Amino acid sequence: MKSSGRETVSTIMVTVGLLSVMIAAFLPLIHVAQDWMRYLYAAGALILLIGRFVAPSVKDAPLRLRRLLHMEIWTAIIFIIGAVFLFLPSTGGKDWLAFTLAGGFLTLYTSIMIPRQKLK
């Protein structure tokens, strides 16, 4: 199956965005780069969201698959909300971590279920 240029760009953006979020979430665990970690996280979340919107839409797909694809967009929005909490001084400092975990679990779920739905 030949992939389109739009699909390739989307895949690259999503991969870069998720890797940036993952690296930024890992840095505080090893006490490195506390200052610019939030910028890396926010940039990754934004790249992820743009990559999800760039992805080609599947109009004739089954309803469950379309819902899973929409869930991927909401997952990117959850990471954006986590990035906002990184920049708010009034938050407890760990609120972004809850959104990162929620986004991570949803990403894991959709990455398992979408290929299964495409095989049906």
Could you give the C-alpha distances from 2 to 5, 8, 45, 112, in angstroms and in order?
10, 10, 28, 22
Mind listing the pLDDT tens digit for each residue in 79-119? 999 999 998 888 767 889 999 999 999 999 999 999 999 88
Number of domains making up the chain:
1
Q: Write out the residue range of the structural domain in which residue 77 sits.
A: 5-119
Mean pLDDT of the chain: 91
What is the pLDDT at residue 1?
A: 46
Mind listing the pLDDT tens digit for each residue in 36-85? 899 999 999 999 999 999 998 888 889 999 999 999 999 999 999 999 99
Distance between CA atoms of 114 and 55, rounded to whole angstroms? 14
3 state SS of 8 = helix
